[in-house]
Structure 1
Amino acid sequence: MDVLLIWAAGCLRAVQLAVWIPVPLIGGLRMYRLPALVLAGYLLTVAWTVLLFVRAGRARRLGHGWVYADVVVALLGLLLVPAACIASCDTGWQHWVLPPAMGAAIVAAAFTPRWPAAAAVALLVAGYLAGSLRELLAGPDGFGAITVNAVSLLGFAVLAAVVAGYLRGSAAQLDAATEAALAAGAREAAAQARFDERTRQYDALHRTVLTTLSAIARGRLDHRREEVRALAQRDADYLRGLVTAGSGGPTGNLASALAGVVRDKQALGLQVHSQFHDLSERLPPDVEQALTNAVSEALTNVTKHAGTDEAWLTAVGGDGGITLTVVDRGRGFRPAAVAPGRGLVRELRHCVVEVGGRVAIDSAPEQGTMVEVSWRR
């Protein structure tokens, strides 16, 4: 907000100084005893104004010391310029210092604390009246105009203080509202992150521990078999990894990861016929993890719902992409009948779509199911 006020005050000061530019061009300097000194004073005031506002614009603030110096420059002009006039010029165009002095009062009111600003404005009003003393003593003719100028100088300063205070208050309220909105957004993002993490952990448990326990509970597995015990040990390691913030992340080799999935599902009693081709290309870790999870979920679905103990897995790479296909000849289902956000469709899309992959499911009752997962760079 201070930047806006600085540029507004600078533009106002430029206009206030510019109104006197035609005076030397039309011979108005003849109205002064020392026209060269008056012109030099005007040019020095212009130079000071440029220095003041250019520096303030670059610093994005107007320091109190610079404001007080501006008041001193205006005060000197209010005292010296009237003394240089041949005739009285306290209320005429010859008194070119008065408009910039009003600008100095506005700047003091807008950029300094209340009491220093009040003192600066009072000093400028007193300086104007002191410079106009000759005309005040000469008679009542100029009294009205001088009074109007003095009241205007004071009134503009008060108005500037009110407007600047209102704008700064509004800006503070806007900043507070923005901070509150950002904080709310951060809280929402954190809550969403926690929800996503819980969903990821649930999906991982669904693919591993819960699938193993469900198969054992249904009597489909003999927990005394070595491969079942090894699978249970891996699942236990996974649970310990969750407790210690481990992720069981990607291996860096998709073929190896898929082979591990096949091995785990076979330990659960599912016969998986796998065929891999051209999987040598290294994938981003999140993509490898997503594709591995998708295959695991598709095979888990065969184990739990297809009513068959046989499935086929094909993985083909090349041309900057991967295509994975899981097929079974089980009971099948109608994908359109599955409620949105549930079942195999939700699980697979949650795994794959967020890394830029695609999922296609083709199934019909008693016709088996084909799941195709693809990803391209």
Structure 2
Amino acid sequence: MVVLLALHRITCLAPALVTCAYGAYRSTWANLGLLLAVAAWNLALFRVARQRGWFPAALVHLDVLLAGLVLMMVTANLTTDVTVPNWGNLVVQASGSLVGAALTRPWSVAAGVLALVLAQSAVIIGYSPGTGMPAPALVHAINGLVCFTLVAGFAVRYLRRIGRNLDRINAHRLAAEADAAADHARYVTRLAHHRALHDTVLTTLTLIARGVADPGRPEVRRRCARDAEVIRGLLGDGCDPAFGTVGEALREVVGEVSLLGLRVRYQGTTVPPDVPPQVVEALRAAAQEALNNVVKHAGVDQAWLTVTGEGRVLRVTIVDRGRGFDPAAVPSGFGFRHSLVDRMTEVGGRARVSSEPGAGTCVELTWAR
């Protein structure tokens, strides 16, 4: 709206600047000086509007006063009796549009318009030849003034109403996004809890129920004690343990699985030390789930875990020589999807399972820098 008001003022002053030396003025230089003063005032007015975001009411009232004075001075400088139109009338119309746009109180708008109407009437009546009121000229001038005031006032109030509606829509959208983010955060928390329970407590209980693990053995009891600590951490909303390096994390996994009777041959001489913590945790959890599956399904007591760093690719491989299975015939359950595939995908990695009945299983976890 500031731009539109500025363009309106330019259209009012541009013709006067172009033709200032060709009008019927008593003093062309006085007219030119007045034009330059009006231009300087407008530059100052719109600079303030740009800095503050809108027009201060005090400057709008001052603009009304200056517009009336400019109209009288331009008319007094004319050599003819033709007072309408002249560029002073255009300045008054521009001031009227500013009054309608910038002032918010109805009485303030009415006072500004009334002051401009009185200035127009005084000029037309005072400088018209003969006696009586020149009705057509007066109606023409007042009509233009009121028209610009109403158009500017309507435009500003319409834009403000549209802006309030957009603000309301944006507020609803932001609230909906906040609710969605909260739902997603709750989902992520539940998923993390499900993963932790699946990879620890559920695996231990499943092995005990199947008779694979004897709850009376000291190592199984130690495993149960660790699982109890996991549950306490989840109830207390504690954080997952942070592992310094991939090697430390995987050796921890090997130690936990060995409590269930699985001997894991670990080899990781080329493990890179500067892997991000979230990648370390994803590899740890995925490897733990793969070894848990060896204990539950492979029917063997030995597995191999190898870590290699080849260029920019980190690869963790878990191999067993157990029963194997047909991957196409087995639906992907929670463990395979969430503990293996999703965990690696979330950190930009991949999980691939290769197996055949009777030929063992190979789980390959890869992450590229």
User: What TM-score do you get using the length of structure 2 for normalisation?
Assistant: 0.93
Where does structure 1 lack aligned partners over 5 or more consecutive residues?
none
In structure 2, distance between residues paired with 1:365 and 1:137: 114
Shift in Å, 1:214: 1.9
Question: Deviation per CA, 1:142-186, whole angstroms, max 9, x where unpaired?
Answer: 531331121121122112111211111111111211221122112
Report the AA paired with residue 30 of structure 2: L
Aligned counterpart, 1:356: 348
- Residue 180 of structure 1 pairs with residue 176 of structure 2: no
Coordinate RMSD, CA, aligned: 2.1
Instruction: Return 307-316 or 195-204, whichever deviates more.
Output: 307-316
SS of residue in 2 equivalent to 1:277 = coil
Alignment of 1:62-81 (within 5 A): 62-81=55-74
Offset, 1:318: 4.9
2:249 to 257, 267, 271: 257
Q: Give the SS at the match of 1:57.
A: helix
Equivalent AA in structure 1 for residue 112 of structure 2: A
Q: Distance in 1 between matches of 2:54 and 2:235?
A: 53
C-alpha contact 2:81 2:128 (8 A) present in aligned 1: no
Taking a change above 3 Å as real, the CA distance of residues 40 and 340 of structure 1, as seen in their structure-2 partners, is: farther
Q: Does 1:16 align with 2:7?
A: no
Do residues 99 (structure 1) and 90 (structure 2) align?
A: yes
Is the counterpart of residue 217 in structure 1 residue 209 in structure 2?
A: yes
Distance in 1, matches of 2:277 and 2:346, equals 13
How far residue 255 of structure 1 moved from its aligned partner, in angstroms, is 1.3
Match of 1:365 among 357, 362, 366: 357
Question: Residues 59, 341 of structure 1: CA spacing in aligned structure 2 closer, same or farther, 3 A cutoff?
Answer: farther
Matched, 1:149 2:141: yes
Partner of 2:279: 287
Once residues 341 and 11 of structure 1 are traced to their aligned partners in structure 2, the CA distance between those partners, rounded to angstroms, is 68
Give the whole-Å Cα distance in 2 for the aligned partners of 1:144 and 1:341. Answer: 89
Evaluate the alpha carbon distance shift between residue 318 and residue 246 of structure 1 in structure 2; reply closer, same or farther with a 3 A threshold.
farther
Amino acid at match of 2:325: F
The code of the aligned residue for 2:10 comes to: A
**Compared CA separation, residues 228 and 341, structure 1 to 2 (3 A):** closer
Relative to structure 1, is the Cα distance of residues 69 and 341 closer, same or farther in structure 2, using a 3 angstrom cutoff?
Answer: farther
Structure 1 residue aligned with 2:121: 129
1:344 maps to which residue? 336
Aligned length: 368
Q: Give a deviation string over 1:117-157, Cα, whole Å, max 9, x none.
A: 22111211111111111255735795313311211211221
Sort the Cα spacing of 1:335 and 1:125 in 2 relative to 1 into closer, same or farther, 3 A.
farther
Is contact 1:90-1:146 (8 Å) kept? no
Contact 1:252/1:282 (8 A) holds in 2: no
Which residue does 1:111 correspond to in 2?
Answer: 102
Counterpart of 1:243 in structure 2 is 235
Among residues 80, 83, 90, which one is paired with 1:87 in the alignment? 80
Work out whether residues 223 and 229 of structure 1, in 8 Å CA contact, stay in contact via their aligned partners in 2. yes
Q: CA deviation at 1:79?
A: 2.7
Question: Quick check: 1:67–1:108 contact (8 Å CA) kept in 2?
Answer: yes
Distance in 1 (alpha carbons) for counterparts of 2:334 and 2:235: 27
Question: What is the identity, as a one-letter code, of the residue corresponding to 2:364?
Answer: E
Match of 1:273, SS? strand
Query: Separation in 2 of the partners of 1:204 and 1:46?
Result: 73
1:57 pairs, out of 47, 50, 53, with 50
Q: Is the 8 A contact 1:7 1:57 kept in 2?
A: no
Q: Which structure 1 residue ranges, 4+ long, deviate > 3 Å from structure 2?
A: 139-142, 336-343
Q: What is the identity, as a one-letter code, of the residue corresponding to 1:63?
A: P
Report the residue type matching 1:89 in the other structure: V
Kindly state the Cα deviation for residue 280 of structure 1 after the two structures are TM-superposed: 4.7
Moved more, 59-68 or 129-138: 129-138
Report the alpha carbon displacement of residue 370 of structure 1 after superposing the two structures with TM. Answer: 1.0
Answer whether contact 2:83 2:128 (CA < 8 A) is retained.
no
Output the CA distance in 2 between the equivalents of 1:14 and 1:197. 61
**Is residue 136–residue 143 contact of structure 1 (8 Å, CA) maintained in 2?**
no
Change (3 A) 1:55 1:149: same
